[in-house]
Amino acid sequence: SPAQKLIFNRVNGKRPQVLLQQVSAPEECYTLAHEENVRFIYEAWQQVEQQLDGSRSGESACGPVQYVEKTPNPGLKNFVPIDLEEWWAQQFLAKIENCS
């Protein structure tokens, strides 16, 4: 079922009425500028990863430095980073399953 959206209308200065209106989920569309930004960030990050790999293997004396806390926060002891690619894949598959 389509998502519901709250609509607030003010009529002649009276208190607004709350109406529930069903709207269909908007299709995601990306502008050319958005795609260029994503491509730029992706390519820049790939370069950083290559330079980090090169500095680990001793190929390069200068380059990016990976931040490591000197005194780790004990509250983050059990922290597990999320795999964004896996998360997006799950979201994509869930969206496909809901549409069919």
| 16-45 residue pLDDT tens | 555 555 555 566 788 999 999 999 999 999
Residue 56 to residue 62: CA distance in whole angstroms: 11
Q: Is residue 39 in some structural domain? A: yes
37 in a domain, yes or no?
A: yes
Block residue for tokens 């690619």: 85
- Counting the structural domains of the chain, the total is 1
- The CB density around residue 88, as the number of other CB atoms within 10 Å, is 10
Rounded to 5 degrees, what angle do the CA atoms 30, 31, 34 make?
Answer: 85
- Residue 98, in any domain of the structure: no
Residue listed under structure tokens 């330079």: 51
pTM, two decimals, is: 0.39
**Residue matched to tokens 């896996």:** 86
Task: Show the domain range for 34.
Answer: 30-55
Residue 96 scores a pLDDT above 70:
yes
